[in-house]
Chains A and B, each alone.
Chain A
Amino acid sequence: MGGLQKKKFERGSATNYITRNKARKKLQLSLPDFRRLCILKGIYPHEPKHKKKVNKGSTAPRTFYLLKDIRFLLHEPIVGKFREYKVFVRKLKKAYAKIEWSDVERLKENKPTYKLDHIIRERFPTFIDALRDIDDALCMCFLFSTFARTGKCHVQTIQLCRRLTVEWMNYVIASRCLKKVFLSIKGIYYQAEVMGQLITWLVPYQFSHDHPTDVDYRVMATFTELYTTLLGFVNFRLYQSLNLVYPPKLDSKSESEINEQNEEDYAMSSESYLEKLSALSASLARVVSSVEEEEAQLDQFPTEGEDMENMEAREKELKQEEKAKKLFEGLKFFLNREVPRESLAFVIRSFGGEVSWDKSVCIGSTYEVTDETITHQIVDRPSVDNQYINRFYIQPQWVYDCVNAKILLPVEDYFIGVTLPPHLSPFVEEKEGDYVPPEKLKIVAMQQGHKSVTEDEENEDEDSNEEAEEEEEDNDEEEEEEDEEEEENLKKLEEQRSKGKSLQVKVTPGKMKVENPARLEQEEKAEEKRLAIMMMKKKEKYLYDKIMFGKKRKVREANKLAAKRKAHDDAEKAKKKARK
């Protein structure tokens, strides 16, 4: 015999994992503290490959952590702070119970606090790492900044969140890095490209929250604690990268302007400063004031052949980007009081436009409604009484659609009282075979039209004509023409769709065409393929079937959408005719 008997579960994966309760005991923490620690340190459970082995033969559902992770937590200084805090609470309770107020005072003065700086540094070793993970932080801070200052969380947290988000928005404006905006039913999505990272965040609409009861706000508060720290450091670094003063200060010129107007409204200047910043109407002070923005220029390298073409393409792209950044430059906007001021001011300023609003809406308005140089007034009401003749009265969607299309869209679709064209998500990138809504095609056509100037201006004119006609609905002939045009458009669409689906068409038997050599060949090929499929291995066959099923489902969905659209358009047309 000889040798030691091997015991079960003492080696292998069973020793690599630890259950949550055991981990908690090892760290000597209560469950809420353990939870908080996990949140702050970014530790999450792992799903072992062989659950039963890890669970020592039992199949009970358990949460497992990697033992290494828990060992790593053991050395965290914050754990000590948690324990200190626990003791503090106990002492405080005792002092209260004994009615020893001096002790209470003393204890409160010595309340243990902790900082998260080192955790941020550890979790995000480089700045880019931090930027990559800032999405959630932004979403959370924007949400918390809209909370009412009662209950649910500390007022300081709310104020801090507000401050940080305002700083962030000011940075985005200053760096002009906003790329896409999307008005969804949940809120407004923004996407910015900061140092090559695409950052998306969601801002809720400005309403008071109906706080749900089944949400644990402690968890959210812990996350917010971490995220505010992270966002603060990121903001600092970003401001530094643009040579802006941190904490942000308004440009001395614009500051004096604003000060003139609203001196008397606020008791304390410190109080009004955040308000002024959050107005987003003034530019920020720079450390080095005289620096003009340098145009980023590509260095010229001696290149040949394909590289040349690539370079040219890249240059072109860069140029376009630069152009998109100055989309609203030279335009002057005025916001009516019913439109979401902060969002619009943010977007317009991010693209170089000037923006103002009524003095009573918010601090920081720079010009009045009566200003003659205003080019666009953004209105979201059925009618406006005294209109100025030299400006457009448009609905807010125009601004967002322009940003997403990267061109100034014709304003006719967005006039007051006009039925708006659908607002499309800029985040959807249609691949081949996907359904593309016709509005998107229209926009794409318009974008391309801008590149080659000659024909497309005419097209645009036609488009605008069309729309004008739509509005008028007086002349029957014109109507018919328009209908024809629509049909043409539809045909084009169908063609495009069929092109997109050409792969799938190949598989299914084609149309009735007798004695067509091409078709025969195709059939032969199809049969060949079928026979080859028969020879596939079982595993591969399964995978292949799965892929094909997914593809077919996609096609089915696209077809369904197309059919729905067609039915809708038909119904609209019928309605129009009936009205005539």
Chain B
Amino acid sequence: MAATGSSTRASKPSPGSESGPGTGDIPRKRCPEPESEPQELLGAGPADGQDDDTDSEESDYSGLEDSGSDSDSEETGSDPDSGEEDGSKEASEETGDEDAEVQTEKNLNLQKNDEYQQDSSDEEDIRNTVGNIPMEWYADFPHVGYDLDGKKILKPLRSKDELDAFLDKMEDPDFWRTVQDPQTGRDVVLSEQQVALVKRLQKGQFGDINFNEHEPSVDFFSYDVMIHPVTNRPSDKRSFIPSLIEKEKVSKLVHAIKMGLIKPRRSQDDSKGRYYDLWASEEQGRVRDLRMHVPAPRVPLPGHEESYNPPPEYLMTPEERAVWEQQDPEDRKLAFVPRKFSSLRQVPAFERFIHERFERCLDLYLCPRQRKMRVNVNPEDLIPKLPRPRDLQPFPTTQSMVYLGHEGLVRSISPSPCGQWLLSGGDDGSARFWEVSSGRCVKKVEVCGAIKSAVWNPNQGLSLVALAVGSEVLLVTPPSTAADKQVVTATERLLSEEVESAMGEGPVIWSNAEGEELLHGIRIKIQHPKPVSQVTWHSKGDYVAAVMPDHSSHLQVLIHQVSKRRSQSPFSKNKGLVQSVAFHPIRPYFLLATQRSVRIYNLLKQELSKKLQGNAKWISSIAVHPGGDNVICGSYDCRLSWFDLDLSTKPYKTLRHHRRAVRSVAFHRSYPLFASASDDGSVIVCHGTVFSDLLQNPLIVPVKVLKGHVVTHDLGVLDVTFHPSQPWVFSSGADGTIRLFT
């Protein structure tokens, strides 16, 4: 039973005692019920005292299992009971290691107990022989086991009812420490020591009072050098003589060091984080060739919109915000959305901070750098300094007269050499003679078909005009009021001359007008094979040139001599689509403008004297300076080129003043003025002085933009011409009007 005591005492017990057969198992199975523990233990005491045989039997078991450890545990286990009672017993226990002695000790102990605790007869030995089994196995039987003789031990008669129990409880002062021994079924009163033991165990303390659980441990093998060696073996010989292997190793190392295979340990270089005056010595170190070096541009400084509390106008409206979000990050003007915070503590961290710094890093080492020359000029300085237009007067400035009457486009206008009259021809099939000063139409000549070109004979001694209508060129006499009588008669004489020889030859048919036409003033009709687009007079007034634009034929230009009624074709080869022709005002030259170039022919030598190459894509018109050395030509690609014949075949100046195609250009006969008319509805008058000094370039200054014509059907001003003596300019437009600017 002592073994059971030791096992319940704590977790210390040796494994042997517990796992032994029979007896060893019992306490473990009992363990679950906490109440039974002390009971069983307490029960063991009296049981031991009552029958020694069981005890010895049990000790037999334990002896079989493991003598050393078991006896130890038994000794300590029984200590609390016996140790305090008498020291002599203790001594005997310690020295004795036989089971018998333990038995006697326990018997003595129990006998002592008997003296004042057990009132029943102590003599009868009712030792139970069932062994260490759970007593509930006998719960249903009338007996609780068998005694030494093999007779049943009956359960004590349960005469006590509840009332007796209550009375006991009330009267018996030891009732609280009376427990029932399940093995015998008797009541046992616990001793003081036993109660104390129970209390200690309940508290979770060791059963033995004297056991010190915090004893200092003793290190047998410590770092202290002891006087006596652990082993007493004499040292080897090899510990007295130098090692050959080591010697070999050392010599190897020495060799390696000598040969430089092993380098000695480097001394720590701690100068890395140490700063000093780097720029102390003025002499420069190795310096790169920095000619091509471009220093990194600085990060632009932040503006108001980056503030945490910007003025309200810098915040984005929802629309702006939407636009900002739509844009690609590269296109955005601001890389962030301006925000407003009412106080500094509300400002959060900027999410793209590290990004931006990283991008800056990338810019610094990955971006190719290039010096961009930023032009820092005052735009006013770029504007050329020209003489003021006021100093270049006179030139036409205001619109002073509008000649109304034409229906449809007015293709061509021409003033009379005296400057009193104006001839106009248009798409409505009528040529009209206007008085310049009054704006009255004095005569209207109806022809069949649109008038492409109408030109007044420049000879003051003749009063004659040429009209290009379809494939005919008509020579018409203006109203008799338009000229002196002498002039009229001279004209009559010229027209009435009969020159038969020339009539009816070549591709051209000359015929005199008759009947109705004659009444209108039409005198001579020159029938051409193709529609005529332009007619122009020679300055003497005897020759008239007609243009019949045609890709395929060399017969594009014909020159008619009025006095002899003779026609000739000057060119035997096709040079391209002829746009316009002009006679040189002084010299016997003839100018011919094809699509891309202007050719100048010497009529006397019958050869090409010059070919002017403009940048124009499609020349529309040409005009020759009255001085004879300069030519301007307008083109459908908005340009006006000024050629100086003495200088070069390339334009001296190209003016791109007009926004639409240039239709017509004209020089003034006496004033240094020229004008260009364009489809944008404007006439631009420029001052163009030609100096007699050959070294001085012509001075070209635009002086006035004249507006007035209405653009109809994408056509603006169709023809422009100057008054022969006054600084006035006439213009005719697609709106059916002719305007005079003075």
A-contacting residues, B233-292, CB 8 Å: 265-266, 269, 271-273, 275-279, 284-289, 292
Whole-angstrom CA separation of A186 from B356 in the bound complex? 10
Which of the listed residues B312, B338, B362, B370 has the most CB atoms from chain A within 10 Å of its own CB? Answer: B312
Cβ contact within 8 Å between B344 and A183: yes
Whole-angstrom CA separation of A38 from B369 in the bound complex? 14
Cβ contact within 8 Å between A215 and B292: no
Shortest beta-carbon distance from A554 to chain B in Å: 13
Q: A115-B271, A232-B273 are in contact. List 18 more A-B contacts (CB 8 A).
A: A46-B369, A68-B292, A113-B269, A120-B278, A136-B360, A184-B307, A185-B338, A185-B347, A200-B298, A205-B349, A214-B355, A219-B365, A236-B276, A395-B344, A428-B304, A531-B705, A538-B656, A543-B377
B581 at the interface (CB under 8 A from A): no
Residues 211-226 of A, flagged 1 when their CB comes within 8 A of B and 0 if not, give: 1101110011001000
Shortest beta-carbon distance from A40 to chain B in Å: 10
Whole-angstrom CA separation of A438 from B57 in the bound complex? 113
Cβ contact within 8 Å between B277 and A237: yes
A505 at the interface (CB under 8 A from B): no
A88 at the interface (CB under 8 A from B): no
Residues 349-389 of A, flagged 1 when their CB comes within 8 A of B and 0 if not, give: 00000000000000000000000000000001100000000
Cβ contact within 8 Å between B353 and A185: no
A148 at the interface (CB under 8 A from B): no
Cβ contact within 8 Å between A44 and B369: yes
| Residues of A with C-beta under 8 A to B383 | 529, 532-533, 536, 544
Shortest beta-carbon distance from A229 to chain B in Å: 8
B173 at the interface (CB under 8 A from A): no
Cβ contact within 8 Å between A205 and B389: no
B348 at the interface (CB under 8 A from A): yes
B343 at the interface (CB under 8 A from A): yes
Cβ contact within 8 Å between B313 and A205: no
A561 at the interface (CB under 8 A from B): yes
Which of the listed residues A113, A132, A532, A536 has the most CB atoms from chain B within 10 Å of its own CB? Answer: A532
25 contacts between A and B (CB under 8 A): A46-B292, A72-B288, A120-B278, A122-B287, A135-B298, A140-B357, A143-B354, A183-B307, A185-B339, A200-B298, A200-B299, A205-B347, A207-B348, A209-B349, A219-B361, A232-B273, A232-B275, A246-B275, A396-B344, A419-B342, A422-B310, A425-B302, A532-B383, A534-B657, A551-B379
Which of the listed residues A44, A45, A200 has the most CB atoms from chain B within 10 Å of its own CB? Answer: A44
B388 at the interface (CB under 8 A from A): yes
Whole-angstrom CA separation of A122 from B288 in the bound complex? 8
Shortest beta-carbon distance from B84 to chain A in Å: 55
Known: A38-B365, A216-B358, A425-B302. Is A182-B307 also a contact (CB below 8 A)? yes
* Nearest 3 Cβ contacts at the A-B interface: A207-B349, A427-B301, A47-B368
| Residues of B with C-beta under 8 A to A534 | 655, 657, 702
| Residues of B with C-beta under 8 A to A424 | 304, 307, 310-311
Shortest beta-carbon distance from A414 to chain B in Å: 11
Q: When the two chains form the complex, which single residue of B287, B342, B348 contacts A420, counting CB atoms closer than 8 Å?
A: B342
| Residues of A with C-beta under 8 A to B272 | 113, 115
| Residues of A with C-beta under 8 A to B704 | 531
Known: A39-B365, A419-B342. Is A143-B377 also a contact (CB below 8 A)? no
A85 at the interface (CB under 8 A from B): no
Cβ contact within 8 Å between B344 and A561: no
By beta carbon, the residue of chain B nearest A560 is B313
A189 at the interface (CB under 8 A from B): yes
Shortest beta-carbon distance from A155 to chain B in Å: 14
B314 at the interface (CB under 8 A from A): yes
A487 at the interface (CB under 8 A from B): no
Whole-angstrom CA separation of A449 from B272 in the bound complex? 54
| Residues of B with C-beta under 8 A to A110 | 265-266
Known: A72-B288, A120-B278. Is A209-B354 also a contact (CB below 8 A)? yes
A160 at the interface (CB under 8 A from B): yes
Cβ contact within 8 Å between A220 and B342: no
Cβ contact within 8 Å between B278 and A117: yes
Cβ contact within 8 Å between A561 and B370: no
Cβ contact within 8 Å between A183 and B370: no
Whole-angstrom CA separation of A236 from B275 in the bound complex? 7
B218 at the interface (CB under 8 A from A): no
Residues 328-347 of A, flagged 1 when their CB comes within 8 A of B and 0 if not, give: 00000000001110000000
By beta carbon, the residue of chain A nearest B285 is A121
Whole-angstrom CA separation of A529 from B384 in the bound complex? 9
Cβ contact within 8 Å between A532 and B303: no
Residues 193-216 of A, flagged 1 when their CB comes within 8 A of B and 0 if not, give: 000000010001101111110111
